[in-house]
Amino acid sequence: MATSAAKTHDRAMAPGQAGSQAGSRTRPPTRAKGQETAERVRKAALKRFAASGYAAVSMREIASDVGVRPGALYNHFPTKQDILKDLMLSHMADLLAAWEASDLPGETDPLERFVRFHIRYHLERADEVFISYMELRNLEPENFRIIEAERRRYEALLTDILENGRSAGRYAAEDPKVTTRAIIAMLTGIPAWYREGGRLSERDIEELYLDLVRKAVAPEIPHGDRMA
Amino acid sequence: MATSAAKTHDRAMAPGQAGSQAGSRTRPPTRAKGQETAERVRKAALKRFAASGYAAVSMREIASDVGVRPGALYNHFPTKQDILKDLMLSHMADLLAAWEASDLPGETDPLERFVRFHIRYHLERADEVFISYMELRNLEPENFRIIEAERRRYEALLTDILENGRSAGRYAAEDPKVTTRAIIAMLTGIPAWYREGGRLSERDIEELYLDLVRKAVAPEIPHGDRMA
Amino acid sequence: MATSAAKTHDRAMAPGQAGSQAGSRTRPPTRAKGQETAERVRKAALKRFAASGYAAVSMREIASDVGVRPGALYNHFPTKQDILKDLMLSHMADLLAAWEASDLPGETDPLERFVRFHIRYHLERADEVFISYMELRNLEPENFRIIEAERRRYEALLTDILENGRSAGRYAAEDPKVTTRAIIAMLTGIPAWYREGGRLSERDIEELYLDLVRKAVAPEIPHGDRMA
Amino acid sequence: MATSAAKTHDRAMAPGQAGSQAGSRTRPPTRAKGQETAERVRKAALKRFAASGYAAVSMREIASDVGVRPGALYNHFPTKQDILKDLMLSHMADLLAAWEASDLPGETDPLERFVRFHIRYHLERADEVFISYMELRNLEPENFRIIEAERRRYEALLTDILENGRSAGRYAAEDPKVTTRAIIAMLTGIPAWYREGGRLSERDIEELYLDLVRKAVAPEIPHGDRMA
DNA sequence: TATGAATGAGGGTTCATTCAT
DNA sequence: TATGAATGAACCCTCATTCAT
């Protein structure tokens, strides 16, 4: 599946990303054991940040989850902030890479592709998504800028789709930028309430939201039933 | 205006609510000076919580904003958690009261009324709205339950509208509960990016989102232009 | 005695000094109990810094000496550095104030007055003197500048004496600035080895050093006994 | 030059000394590369200790200066304390060896020889001298005793000179031990303020201090100009 | 109603050192 | 001989909160 490829890709990139943060006291782990520990740190921090919020999570808690003393974390990440940065950067990189790799077979409408991709990815990676929205304000300014740029890149994908669709007469989003935000907000809200095993399957959700989105940007308003 | 009536109402209730929580060690302040201080605490906490998140804000910061020593805060709120609870409870009470009071003149379609009300209220009270979404996880369980109940009451307003509209054949939301969440997520996302004085006025936003919502729940898809 | 007056003076000044360090989170203690604690902190820190050096002393140790939890220290001094600064500033202020107040009865020669004053004061306040020489490098740059200026003021006292004495033909210090440093280094070295109750009394020391200093700056070398 | 011979001598002895300290877990390095690294460690530690003080310098900083990971330091010195001990022992050995080797041509007065030697050596090896005075208290008791013994040996050189000179009627130091300390304190203070390229050359300093010392211990006080 | 002073817990981070590789 | 990874202790400091005044 697309996203698992992305996951592999991401982890393959990670050392490069970490290496690019010049001046940090902590080199990225190079030995197998260190790489494993670093990955466990990422996973523990992700879970904790998603559950309690960055500010409410202590390095001691993360260390305890990982099964290591607090000081050992600093062999892998120079600061707590860097763990957050790493998680958010990886997430955005994964997300964009997964989009590139997502070529749902038999689908031709790009809007449908985007909606399905977004829902699936966001349900699958709920924690990453969650902290990427919630912890933006806990990023230091420079990190914030980087993440914001990635986010805009992602949103531009949908804006392009809407604009192209409008030129082609397929959709009628009056203001593609606003519509982009509206659709993304709508879709991104799903993981906040969706629970597996509930009344609706993931596919049900996809269909329902796809229908809402399609109609919202449909080129024409049906005959006599405008409201008000 | 509707909301100012609500505000009065809310403030009148708030001490009573606080007093009713069993075990509260702090008497509600009764003198004018104390009420003023309490209000300044609420305002300072609101700004800070919205800007940095509950966990990242210290009582010292709030006290400093208010112009008082930390210890003095405890004459007005028994704990930091109670400040958060107070803000969120007031917000939900205000929101529902404002809805009751909102009778936009000349409007007849309830969905339009809801959309316009929600956008206006959420842009006007962006900080309250923001913390009400962001700080849910920092509420103690009982407080969380109370807030969640209020939130569901508010969402039920829209669900009812959608269900009634469907019965009447005016809208065609296949799954009104899901559609409610979709619409509310969409609308609630606005304050995250909307800036006064930007390209679009608040009224422009209202029209654009109203159009999206109307079409999304429109009863029929026009003739031959389905996507794909 | 001169120095006890100075001590009183110093403590009377201290709040003013502390108050002048704008922006610090910690106000100088205002209530009697707080003033007492602050004084105990100063004393404990002085002893510890003199014994082990600033860098090797922990706030925990100071707190423990004072009989208080570490956090309580921060009600009196914003940082560890501020304790050091306070000690060194007070010392220099005390020293200069004590010089002003030192009017040894019956003495007329200013060089003698200086030598006796310096030896007495430095033996009496050995800890303050010691940290003022040893911990200069642990002062933050601005604090360092302040202390250095005070030190130069003190040294200038002796330089003036030597220059005036040279004009008057009483002494023959060829280079009064260098001679100042030489004399002060010589005298300041005393507390490093002098122990009360040893072979020599404090007065013995005074006489011995006074003799060395007098001869060193004596205007003429006696007849034929130059060395070499 | 005298001191470079001493330097060679010292370095030749140092490993042996280190090896002779019972219980040392670290074999003295035998291969060329290790010896080089050990020397770089000494140099880096010397600079850092002189600049910031033993307690304020971390093994990580030293390792970083050397271009090596902290763990590698322990191949050369068993503990941080041993680096300090090594530096101070070497310094004292060097100093005494340099004195032995110092036979300034044409000089006959031993006091002049001592003064010139001391000033030159202390200006040339300012860092070693500095830490040997400043870091005494950071030596473990046994190391302290060793260093103190060496220091007394050095001071005894001057005391002997003064005593012999007094017997011979050349000088008149009333209390040779006190005078020794006075002179050494005076001379040792020079590197604290002397800067190359300043108003005075090293030779100027020598002459000025030599003059002060000579007069201070001159056998007679010139006729009528006693002070007071 | 507010303050100054304290507590006890815990925050992120650094430390000297060890040791398998 | 050097490294990467870990330990366990300690670092300075901040926290929410209490309480006598």
A143-159 residue pLDDT tens: 999 999 999 999 999 99
Nearest DNA or RNA nucleotide to B73 (CA to C1'): E2
Residue B137, pLDDT > 80, answer: yes
- Which of C174, C182, C189 is nearest residue D181 as measured by Cβ atoms? C189
> Is B182 within 8 Å of A179 when comparing Cβ atoms?
no
> What's the Å distance between residue C200 CA and nucleotide E20 C1'?
61
Residue D24, pLDDT > 50, answer: no
The residues, ordered by sequence, that sit 6+ positions from D185 with a Cβ below 8 Å of its Cβ are C185, C186, C188, C189, C190, C192
**pLDDT on residue D172:** 92
How distant is the alpha carbon of residue A164 from its chain centre? Answer: 24
Q: How far apart are CA C210 and CA C205, in angstroms?
A: 8
Short-list C216, C207, C197, CA closest to C119? C207
> Is C174 within 8 Å of D51 when comparing Cβ atoms?
no
Kindly report the bases of strand E lying within 7 A of a protein C-beta atom: 1-20
Short-list A202, A20, A22, CA closest to A93? A20
Residue D151, pLDDT > 60, answer: yes
Look at the alpha carbons of D61, D62, D66, D68 in this order and tell me if their dihedral is positive or negative: negative
Residue D190 with chain C: CB contacts under 8 Å = 181, 185
Distance from CA of B75 to the nearest CA of A (A): 26
Residue A22, pLDDT > 70, answer: no
Q: How far apart are CA B44 and CA B38, in angstroms?
A: 10
Q: How far apart are CA B228 and CA A108, in angstroms?
A: 6
> What's the Å distance between residue A80 CA and nucleotide E12 C1'?
8
> Is A222 within 8 Å of B227 when comparing Cβ atoms?
no
Surface-to-core class of residue A136, CB atoms within 10 Å of its CB (0-12 exposed, 13-18 middle, 19+ buried): middle
Instruction: Look up the protein residue whose alpha carbon has the minimum distance to the C1' of E15.
Output: D58
D32 touches D6 (CB < 8 A) = no
Pull the structure tokens for residue A63: 């260390």
C209 touches C186 (CB < 8 A) = yes
Short-list A129, A100, A94, A95, CA closest to A10? A94
Q: How far apart are CA C39 and CA C76, in angstroms?
A: 9
Q: What is the DSSP string of D144-190?
A: HHHHHHHHHHHHHHHHHHHHHHHHTTS---SSHHHHHHHHHHHHHTH
Distance from CA of B94 to the nearest CA of A (A): 23
B3-28 residue pLDDT tens: 333 333 333 333 333 333 434 445 55
> What's the Å distance between residue B27 CA and nucleotide E4 C1'?
23
C44 touches C65 (CB < 8 A) = yes
C165-178 residue pLDDT tens: 999 999 999 999 99
Residue B220 with chain A: CB contacts under 8 Å = 222, 225
Q: How far apart are CA A52 and CA C1, in angstroms?
A: 64
Kindly report the bases of strand F lying within 7 A of a protein C-beta atom: 1-20
Phi, psi (deg, nearest 5) at residue B166: -70, -45
Nearest DNA or RNA nucleotide to D73 (CA to C1'): F2
A160-198 residue pLDDT tens: 999 999 999 999 999 999 999 999 999 999 999 999 999
Phi, psi (deg, nearest 5) at residue A213: -65, -45
Tell me which H or E stretch contains C180.
helix C176-188
- Which of C53, C205, C220 is nearest residue D222 as measured by Cβ atoms? C220
Residue D227, pLDDT > 50, answer: no
How distant is the alpha carbon of residue B27 from its chain centre? Answer: 27
D81 touches D128 (CB < 8 A) = no
**pLDDT on residue C175:** 96
- Mean pLDDT computed over B114-139: 95
Q: Determine which of C212, C217, C220 to mutate to test the interface with D (most D C-beta atoms within 10 Å).
A: C212
Residue D2, pLDDT > 50, answer: no
**pLDDT on residue A23:** 35
Look at the alpha carbons of B101, B105, B110, B116 in this order and tell me if their dihedral is positive or negative: negative
Short-list A51, C192, C20, CA closest to D185? C192
Q: How far apart are CA B161 and CA A80, in angstroms?
A: 46
- Which of D184, D186, D222 is nearest residue C218 as measured by Cβ atoms? D222
> Which residue is listed with tokens 């001590």?
C7
User: Are 3 or more Cβ–Cβ pairs between C and D shorter than 8 Å?
Assistant: yes
- Which of B170, B216, B225 is nearest residue A219 as measured by Cβ atoms? B225
The residues, ordered by sequence, that sit 6+ positions from C149 with a Cβ below 8 Å of its Cβ are none
> What's the Å distance between residue C138 CA and nucleotide E19 C1'?
35
Nearest DNA or RNA nucleotide to C81 (CA to C1'): F12
Smallest CA–CA distance from B183 into chain A, residue? A186
Within 10 angstroms of residue D51's Cβ, the number of other Cβ atoms is 13
Within 10 angstroms of residue B136's Cβ, the number of other Cβ atoms is 15
How distant is the alpha carbon of residue B78 from its chain centre? Answer: 24
Residue A55 with chain B: CB contacts under 8 Å = 52-53, 55-56
Instruction: Look up the protein residue whose alpha carbon has the minimum distance to the C1' of F11.
Output: C58
User: Are 3 or more Cβ–Cβ pairs between A and C shorter than 8 Å?
Assistant: no
Q: Determine which of D215, D221, D225, D226 to mutate to test the interface with C (most C C-beta atoms within 10 Å).
A: D215
Q: How far apart are CA C182 and CA B116, in angstroms?
A: 85
**pLDDT on residue C32:** 83
Residue D28: which pLDDT band, with cuts at 50, 70 and 90? low
- Which of A181, A186, A225 is nearest residue B218 as measured by Cβ atoms? A225
> What's the Å distance between residue C83 CA and nucleotide F12 C1'?
13
**pLDDT on residue D31:** 61
Q: Please list the ranges in chain C whose pLDDT falls under 50.
A: 1-24, 222-228
B24 touches B86 (CB < 8 A) = no
Q: What is the DSSP string of D90-141?
A: HHHHHHHHHHHH---TT---HHHHHHHHHHHHHHHTHHHHHHHHHSGGGS-H
> Is B216 within 8 Å of A219 when comparing Cβ atoms?
no
Pull the structure tokens for residue C79: 């940082």
Nearest DNA or RNA nucleotide to A67 (CA to C1'): F6
Phi, psi (deg, nearest 5) at residue C103: -130, 80
Residue A14, pLDDT > 80, answer: no
Q: How far apart are CA B5 and CA B11, in angstroms?
A: 10
> What's the Å distance between residue C35 CA and nucleotide F10 C1'?
29
- Mean pLDDT computed over A55-83: 97
**pLDDT on residue D23:** 42
User: Are 3 or more Cβ–Cβ pairs between A and B shorter than 8 Å?
Assistant: yes
**pLDDT on residue C26:** 73
B63-90 residue pLDDT tens: 999 999 999 999 999 999 999 999 999 9
> In chain D, pLDDT over 90 holds for what percent of residues?
75
Q: Angle at Cα A31 formed by Cα A27 and Cα A32, nearest 5°?
A: 130
B135 touches B86 (CB < 8 A) = no
Domains of chain C, CATH where assigned: 2-21+80-216 (1.10.357.10)
**pLDDT on residue C28:** 73
Short-list A72, A76, A87, CA closest to A26? A76
Smallest CA–CA distance from D184 into chain C, residue? C186
B206 touches A205 (CB < 8 A) = no
Grouping H, G, I as helix, E, B as strand and the rest as coil, residue A34 is: helix
> Which residue is listed with tokens 């996973």?
A43
Phi, psi (deg, nearest 5) at residue C89: -65, -45
- Mean pLDDT computed over D7-15: 34
D94 touches D10 (CB < 8 A) = yes
Look at the alpha carbons of D48, D54, D57, D58 in this order and tell me if their dihedral is positive or negative: positive
Q: Determine which of D58, D183, D225 to mutate to test the interface with C (most C C-beta atoms within 10 Å).
A: D225
Within 10 angstroms of residue D138's Cβ, the number of other Cβ atoms is 22
Residue B30: which pLDDT band, with cuts at 50, 70 and 90? low
Smallest CA–CA distance from C184 into chain D, residue? D186
Pull the structure tokens for residue C93: 């202020």
> Is A175 within 8 Å of B208 when comparing Cβ atoms?
yes
> In chain B, pLDDT over 90 holds for what percent of residues?
75
Residue A220, pLDDT > 90, answer: no
Specify the range with the lowest mean pLDDT, choosing from A126-130, A216-220, B190-194, D26-30.
D26-30
- Which of C170, C185, C219 is nearest residue D186 as measured by Cβ atoms? C185
Query: How does the average pLDDT of chain B come out, rounded?
Result: 85
Instruction: Look up the protein residue whose alpha carbon has the minimum distance to the C1' of E8.
Output: C69
> What's the Å distance between residue C31 CA and nucleotide E5 C1'?
9
**pLDDT on residue C27:** 73
Pull the structure tokens for residue D70: 């902290």
> In chain A, pLDDT over 70 holds for what percent of residues?
84
